[in-house]
Structure 1
């Protein structure tokens, strides 16, 4: 428990974490508001084919906050400190205090999980408010089962970013790939036009946990199971690599 509390404290001490909170809390609401505005006339006229997605689209595309969170949680450990602080790395101190590397990773992953859940709840509140503000009585019903799927999607995405960063020891590659994939160009979506195997990629399967899209491939449960399997495999590999790695290098 002390290791978990220490990891929470370290996360909140990072300057970049506040950018993650800001993006995570408000980016989904902005995206949902823009989508609601664009769809408003069709929704009022009753001809919109995308009404079930309005609002939820913000939660699907607005996960950058938890991606930053997952990456920062690990990459901050490998940053070289200033010469005044001895020029070392935080990871050396962390593993001196928590000698078990598995315990260390579990504590850090637990901290990322808790913050991701709380951040997604805030994002849901801002997104629902923005959607109702623009659409009023025409706003779609936000179902608890789908909102729970969104919370799981955000949490799993943060942990995927966490695991990838453990492997790379650097935040640039995970940030570039994951943020590009979730906001600009979805590689999974493009690959799905070529092969149905793309529907088993983690981000594509995770979307099916709460989005009602015309090309949905999985049930919410199956989508969650697919992304969980990806996460479990990644975490096992990350633990194996981390336990064998010279963290000082």
Structure 2
């Protein structure tokens, strides 16, 4: 069943948009920013370059966000013009009536694709960073693994939100704007320190050390908090998915 969901996910054109964008954006940003970064390191503007490369992975999060949304939103699309009210989910549940098993298979397929994309993107980004800035120390393997985990958790977060809303456009738009234009979570940290425990604020503390976080949280604690958010949202989504009509 996981294999079927994996083929279904990789058969979606929108998923490939997420794969291509998520994989290429971070290395391209590293390449474009190279002259500025060299100058900033030389004049001391960047006093601690240990987050270089890892920090650039943030722009690539568009990839797992798209994957997490389309893996479930595709089930709510119309099966064709002859039956505009019929959804792909009806066909899927006919073939596999067990809804929780279906969600588990989709989750595993999503994790496999997102983790693979994260590993490739991290390797390409960090390798390019080292080539362009050879004096910058490479991050520890544990930090790289934490970045890959965060990438994968973001995919599951997008999946859970879409599962709850049964709409792909709204969560994807919010997630992309929140991560690239203006972070609602960051604005909330100006109101209360508790906002530092929101997923997109606490998650990066799993692997970044020099960023200006409103509240400093240990990497292990950050990972546990992020995982707890994902587990809670997936549980809510699973309950709603089990009770709703297709």
TM-score range, shorter chain: over 0.9
Aligned to 2:71: 73
Task: Measure the CA separation in 1 of the matches of 2:182 and 2:48.
Answer: 20
Does 1:151 find its partner at 2:153? no
Aligned-residue CA RMSD in angstroms?
1.7
Whether 2:195 is the aligned partner of 1:198: answer: yes
Tell whether the 8 Å contact from 2:78 to 2:84 is kept in structure 1 after alignment: no
Deviation per CA, 1:170-219: give whole Å up to 9, x if none: 11111111111111112222222221111100111101011113534211
Q: Name the CA distance, whole Å, in 2 between partners of 1:97 and 1:48.
A: 56
**Structure-1 separation of matches of 2:45 and 2:164:** 48
Specify the alignment match of 1:218 in structure 2: 217
In the alignment, which residue of structure 1 is the partner of 2:36? 38
- Answer whether contact 2:202 2:222 (CA < 8 A) is retained: yes
The offset of 1:40, in angstroms, is 0.8
Q: Which residue does 1:241 correspond to in 2?
A: 240
Counterpart position of 1:82 = 80
1:143, distance to aligned residue in structure 2 (A): 1.5
Whether contact under 8 Å (1:55, 1:131) holds in the other structure is yes
**2:68–2:156 Cα contact (<8 Å) kept:** yes
Which residues of structure 1 form unaligned runs of 5+?
Answer: none
Distance (Å, rounded) in 2 between the aligned partners of 1:174 and 1:149: 24
2:130/2:138 contact within 8 Å kept: no
In the alignment, what sits opposite 1:116? 114
1:174 aligns with 2:179: no
In 2, Cα distance between the equivalents of 1:194 and 1:80?
42
Partner of 1:105 in structure 2?
A: 103
Whole-Å separation in 2 of the counterparts to 1:47 and 1:178: 30
Cα distance in 1 between the residues matched to 2:149 and 2:167:
25
Structure 2 unaligned blocks of 5 or more: none
Question: Counterparts of 1:221 and 1:111 in 2: how far apart (Å)?
Answer: 26
Number of matched pairs = 244
Deviation at 1:52, TM superposition (A): 1.8
Please state if 1:23 is matched with 2:21. yes
- Look up the match of 2:56: 58
Q: Distance in 1 between matches of 2:29 and 2:219?
A: 23
Query: Under a length normalisation based on structure 1, what TM-score does the superposition of the two structures give?
Result: 0.92
Residue from 131, 135, 140 that aligns with 2:137: 140
- Give 1:9's aligned residue: 7
Equivalent-residue separation in structure 2 for 1:87 and 1:194 (angstroms) = 44
Deviations along 1:148-176, one digit per CA (max 9) or x if unpaired, are 11011011100000011011111111111
User: What's the CA shift for 1:25?
Assistant: 0.8
TM-score (norm 2): 0.93
* 2:27–2:125 contact (8 Å) kept in structure 1: yes
Contact 2:51 2:139 in 1 (8 A): no
Given that residues 61 and 183 in structure 1 are in contact (C-alpha distance below 8 angstroms), is that contact kept between their aligned partners in structure 2?
yes
Query: Which is further off, 228-237 or 139-148?
Result: 139-148
